[in-house]
Amino acid sequence: MAEDEQGVVFPADAQGRRSTSDVGRAVVADALRPVDPTGAAAAERETAWRSGYLTHYRRLVEAGLSGPEQATSLARAGLDSVRDRMRVAAPGGEVSLADWPDDGEQLDAVEVEGTGDRVEELVLPYRGQRLRGPEIRRRLEDWLADGVVEPSVVESVDLVLEHPEWLRLEGHTVAVLGAGAEMGPLPSLLRWGARVAAVDLDRPEVWKRLVALAQDGAGTLVVPVPQGHDGALDEVAGVDLLAGVPALERWLGEQPGRLVLGNYVYADGGAFARLSVAVDELTTRLARSHDDLALAFLATPTDVFVVPGEAVDHATAAYDGRSGRAKTLARPLRTLSGGRLLQRQYVPGTSPGVNDSLVPQQGPNYALAKRLQRWRATVARRDGGLVSMNVAPPTRTRSVVKNRALAAAYAGAHRFGVEVFEPATSNVLMAALLVHDLHTGGGPAHEHPWQDEAYAAAHGGLWRSAYAQRSALGLAAVLGYGATRA
């Protein structure tokens, strides 16, 4: 058995082929079936899944709009389908997730205590500056005026500014899965004095950086190591989440305080979907033994979301208020493209609206991985759990800029009303929203899951810009290509 086929895998067919497309198509159809049988049948008939998935992922959102029960049923069906279909490759053969064999691996915990001074106030890095107090409030108001964030972002961060004592997260252990991720909250939490249980692969270069962050910070970093380890910490730390769910269930279950399970994992291609399935299995298991388990996610802005009528009105005003030059330039482009370029974002007056910012370059495996997280957040909330899931802004992370097309589109996005954030800014902003949610029961209760997802969304302007995103993406890439070359 190949090394990359250990742990969570896509099921193999009779010829031994593991098709991510077959599973993705089937999961979407299964999710739609309870509320939209016609949509389920359409997904099943889709023969070009790698390009055709966009329509069906939008339909998953639209099908849930009919009511909160329908949205929750859809989410449960999708999660059940994934759990039924995905497999665990073990030395004795492949089994279901529910029958995952426990190899008995034991993990010890090594604690690294920070020696730095605790940062006792929210400090937001932004374009070379370090904003505090009133400066943060002014930046938030500017973002709001420009349509970069929803009003609830301003309200949430303002509450954190009023309660700087929240930053330490006293009484919590935050498990950061994907601890080395650029978008994860680990650096901020350690500066604020929190206790963080870090999970990432056994890569010395990752752990050397994380341990250094912990030593310079003011919190406690809890590091997983094999039982009876011998050697330098960065050389022995880490665990493969794809194969280590039973061991991590035991290890995290022993952490003190209220456990917060934060999902910040990322990988390319099908490995990302496998990782999301592994995290969801770990979530399911820990929830059985921890009644107060809290969940944390970052939702990608490049997805399909239902948005409030105010966002629709903002985008409509932006479209109607374009300059004469912009309108003049748009006409031949729309004509030459058969109307595909620079389309209006929403039908005016729609409330709520549907924002479709799916990016084809990210592919169906990325869409499946992120949708699993949203489904789990919906189900956990409806079951009474505390969930922090906020839409994060488009950010110049390494995983984005290594894709030349996406890097170019991000470089030109500002011309279409979208602000792309630097990782340091996104990291602190989203960590502050996490702190808010953990101290407010996950934020206010809403009637419909789409309202939960729209709350405190820092989408970077994708929801409120004048144009439908895919109708402007190509032009943004053309305009930004020169900047990426530079």
pLDDT tens per residue across span 337-364: 787 888 999 999 999 999 999 999 899 9
The pLDDT-based confidence of 402 (bands split at 50, 70, 90) is confident
Rounded-to-integer distance, Cα 377 and Cα 295, Å: 8
Q: Averaged over 404-432, what is the pLDDT?
A: 92
Alpha helical stretches, state H, 383-468: 398-401, 404-412, 423-439, 449-454
Angle at 277 between CA 273 and CA 281, to 5 degrees: 170
Task: Report the run of H or E that residue 220 belongs to, with start and end.
Answer: strand 220-226
What pLDDT does 205 receive? Answer: 97
- Give the confidence band of 229 by pLDDT, cuts at 50, 70, 90: confident
Q: What is the pTM of this model?
A: 0.95
Q: Residue 27 corresponds to which amino acid?
A: V
Query: How far, in Å, are 83, 84, 89, 380 from residue 99 at the CA level?
Result: 11, 11, 11, 23
Task: Write out the two tokens for 122.
Answer: 């929210």
482 pLDDT more than 70: no
* List of residues 6+ apart from 383 with CB closer than 8 A: none
pLDDT given for residue 262 in this prediction: 98
Mean pLDDT of 20-46: 98
Phi, psi at 272, each rounded to 5°: -65, -45
Question: Are the beta carbons of 57 and 375 closer than 8 angstroms?
Answer: no
* In the block, residue with structure tokens 């400090």: 123
At position 246, the amino acid (one-letter code) is P
pLDDT at position 3: 46
- pLDDT band at residue 486 using 50, 70 and 90 as cut-offs: low
138-180 pLDDT tens trace: 999 999 999 999 999 999 999 999 999 999 999 999 999 999 9
Residue found by looking up tokens 């070009």 in the block: 48
**Is residue 224 over pLDDT 90?**
yes
**1 confidence band (pLDDT: 50, 70, 90):** very low
Looking at residue 333, its pLDDT comes to 79
Say what the pLDDT of residue 5 is. 74
SS3 (DSSP) at 367? helix
d(CA 224, CA 108): 6
For residues 92 and 101, the answer to whether their CB atoms sit within 8 Å is: yes
In this predicted model, what pLDDT tens digit does every residue of 423-467 receive, in sequence order? 999 999 999 999 999 999 999 999 999 999 999 999 999 999 999
* pLDDT for the residue 172: 98
Which whole number is the average pLDDT over 291-296? 97
Query: In this structure, what are the phi and psi dihedrals at residue 199, rounded to the nearest 5 degrees?
Result: -130, 120
HSE at residue 68, side-chain half, CA atoms within 13 A, is: 13
- CA 170 from centre of chain: 25
What does the angle CA 336 – CA 338 – CA 343 come to, to the nearest 5 degrees? 100
In whole angstroms, give the CA distance from residue 17 to residue 139: 51
- Mean pLDDT for the stretch of residues 277-301: 97
Write down the pLDDT at residue 104: 86
What percentage of the chain exceeds 90 in pLDDT?
83
Percent of the chain whose predicted confidence (pLDDT) is above 70:
98
pLDDT at residue number 408:
87
Of the pLDDT bands very low, low, confident and very high (cuts 50, 70, 90), residue 399 is confident
H helices within 204-349, ranges in order?
204-216, 233-236, 245-253, 270-289, 309-320, 324-336
H/E stretch holding 353 reads strand 353-356
* Alpha-carbon dihedral sign for residues 333, 335, 338, 343: positive
- Higher per-residue confidence, 358 vs 480: 358
Average pLDDT (64-83) is 97
